[in-house]
Structure 1
Amino acid sequence: MDFSDVYCGPPPLPQDLWFRWSFDPFAAVLMITLFGSWLLWGRRDAVGRSALMAAMALIFVAFFSPLCDLTTALFSARVAHHVILIGVIAPLVAIALPWRTGPLLPLSALALLNGLTVWLWHAPSAYEWAIIGAGPYWLMQLSLLATSWLLWREMFSPLARVGAALIALVAFIAQMGLLGALLVFTPFPVYAPHLATTAPFGLSALADQQLAGLLMWVPAIVPYLLVGVWLVLRLTNAFVAHRPSGSAR
């Protein structure tokens, strides 16, 4: 494969990785846009400010640090990049830019939309197309971020029905687990751009793909599980608060 047009640059070697910092103008525009949106519509308390700053820091790590270049060499690094985007950056943005006027779609539809977006960009043909050139690359990144933000935004809404939110979480976790399992148990590598790029890092293309599947299968679901626990506690507290007190004897 010709790596001259790959968005994050040619695959790095391990000894050169630390020197592969770069400036991404599109990521800079994303950060400026998020900050401007926060000034206009964001949560302006300490929690909102902290969430925004954490999201900005992680965007910097994801797109300016050597992680971007490493995704050219390792599919597992690409999956880690996507996990950070949809499972950490997106909920932080949802906290900083919270629910205001109501969801565009029901929670179940948002979970389906986000899940389909994840599956689309991890299909081998779509993936190979998306890493070439700024347009396809940022279409992938922004669609993953936007659909994840919409889902997290509704999850965190004080008006969201806890039962519906838990069902959507379970469904999303299940599809992530299924995709991760497919990557782990497929007996041959399916991502052509990485067939000849993993060896310098001590991995075969198949081992790299299996590592990516494990990342999607286990660590990727941790934020969703934590929010699920929070929703259960919220439901329990609501039940206790509305429970009739016992009559005095």
Structure 2
Amino acid sequence: MLISHGTLEHGTLGDWALDPVAIAVTVGVIGLYVVGRRPGHDAPWRLAAVVIGVLVSFVAVVSPLHVAAERSLAWHMVQHVLLIGVTAPLLAVAAPWPALARGLGVRGVGAVSSARRLVGLDVARMRRLRSPLARWLLFVFVFWGWHSARLYSLAVENEWVHTIEHVSFVVAALLVWSAVLGPERAGGNADPAIRVLVAFLLGLQGVLLSALLTFAPSPWYGVYVDRLGADDALADQHIAGVLMWVPLGALITVAGIWAAMTWIGPDDEPARSEPGRVSQGTATESTFPEITRLR
């Protein structure tokens, strides 16, 4: 659904975009997960997390929110909070990749692997992305890059660039959230202390960018000045900074507290049910080696 809203000239029902690609991708992802999950093995909360995460993404890109985001930085920031702070962590916690691979089947997994190699994601690059700090650096690069004046204005004015922006946000956020909340191997086998560090660094860079937006003496983005006027664009930008600061910061804080509790808590229960810890018997449930075995 993230790649759909810029692909078709869609009709509308009010301000809702009736985009058949968005609907097909949403139904397809949920359907693949339902087909591939093992009811006696996969906890029901994982299904709920996948469904909610996918539906939140769907709402973010085809609802009236998307139309409002083209006219307001504040509403655009709400989109970013939903994609980065709701969809990505829910999918990271659920770690649906093995179930999606089973739903795709051997041929589907082969096609995905071929596409991955085609875009240059070879084994060496994938291995480097297992480092939690590398994932954080990638997220910072993506997050700050898209909030630069030139790239941001380009995304607002061009649907295809806007699509790339959203896809890159979710991918980068999914990688870094997996390092904080995901199962051990999906998170790069990160030590609990590293999980806490990544959560802290994630919040720190967010606070810095949101403070710059909130207290800026002039608007950053000329596209909103043209549409709203300088005074309204500045007020809109300040609201956007607060939206980044408070809701997204609160979500990251909760994740950091959870990671810290996991780090300092008792370690005498090998099969605890927290999303970021899995028993030895189920560790492969959320790892890419299982996808390889399907081939």
Match of 2:170 in 1: 145
CA shift, 1:67, in A, is 0.4
Q: Which of 122, 128, 132 is equivalent to 1:107?
A: 132
Alignment partner, residue 19 of structure 2: 24
Aligned to 1:61: 59
The 1:227/1:41 distance shift into structure 2, 3 A limit, reads farther
Partner of residue 211, structure 1 = 239
Aligned CA distance change for structure 1 residues 164 and 42 (closer, same or farther; 3 Å): farther
On the 8 A contact 1:38/1:97 being kept in 2, the answer is: no
**Does the 8 Å CA contact 2:69/2:76 hold for their aligned counterparts?**
yes
- Contact map agreement 1:86 1:144 (CA 8 A) in 2: yes
* Aligned residue in 1 for 2:202: 172
Q: Distance in 2 between matches of 1:223 and 1:80?
A: 14
Counterpart residue number, 2:274: none
Q: Report deviation, 1:57.
A: 2.3
| Cα separation, 2, equivalents of 1:235 and 1:181 | 30
Pair 25,95 (structure 1): closer, same or farther in 2 beyond 3 Å: farther
CA distance in 2, matches of 1:36, 1:151: 26
Query: SS at the partner of 2:220?
Result: coil
Q: Using the alignment, how far apart are the partners of 1:56 and 1:98 within structure 2?
A: 11
Segment drifting more, 186-195 vs 100-109: 100-109
1:7–1:131 CA contact under 8 A, matched in 2: no
Q: 1:157 aligns with which of 172, 175, 183?
A: 183
Letter in 1 for 2:245: W
Identity, % of aligned pairs? 28
* Structure 2 residue 29 is matched with structure 1 residue 34: yes
AA aligned opposite 1:28? I
Task: Give the alignment of 1:1-249 within 5 angstroms.
Answer: 19-28=14-23, 30-32=25-27, 34-35=29-30, 38-39=33-34, 44-98=42-96, 104-155=129-180, 156-158=182-184, 159-198=189-228, 204-238=232-266
Once the two structures are TM-superposed, the CA of residue 237 in structure 1 deviates from its matched residue by 2.1
1:75 is displaced (CA, Å) by: 0.3
Structure 1 stretches of 5 or more lacking a match? 1-5, 9-17, 243-249
2:49–2:91 CA contact under 8 A, matched in 1? yes
Question: What CA distance in whole angstroms lies between the structure 1 residues aligned with 2:190 and 2:25?
Answer: 28
Q: Match of 2:130, SS?
A: coil
CA contact (8 A) 2:65 2:79 kept: yes
1:220 Cα deviation from its structure 2 partner = 1.1
Cα contact 2:15–2:64 (8 A) shared by 1: yes
**TM-score normalised by length of structure 1:** 0.79
How many residue pairs align between the two structures? 225
Residues 214 and 239 in structure 2, CA contact (< 8 A), matched pair in contact too: yes
Q: Deviations over 1:88-123 (max 9, x none)?
A: 110111123358798833101101111211111111
Inter-CA distance 193–225: structure 2 relative to 1 (3 Å threshold) = same
With structure 2 as the length reference, what TM-score do the two structures score? 0.68
Gaps of 5+ in 2: 8-12, 99-125, 271-295
Shift of 1:19: 2.6
Larger CA deviation: 40-49 vs 169-178: 40-49
What secondary structure is seen at the aligned counterpart in 2 of 1:189?
A: coil
Residues in 1 aligned to 2:201 and 2:16: alpha-carbon distance in whole angstroms: 37
Which runs of 4 or more aligned residues in structure 1 lie more than 4 Å from their structure 2 counterparts after TM superposition? 39-43, 98-103, 239-242
The answer to whether the 8 A contact 1:99-1:153 is kept is no
Write out per-residue CA displacement over residues 24-67 of structure 1, whole angstroms, 9 at most, x where no aligned residue: 34533542453355357668421111001111221232122110
Secondary structure (helix, strand or coil) at the match of 1:76 reads: helix
Give the superposition deviation at 1:23. Answer: 2.2
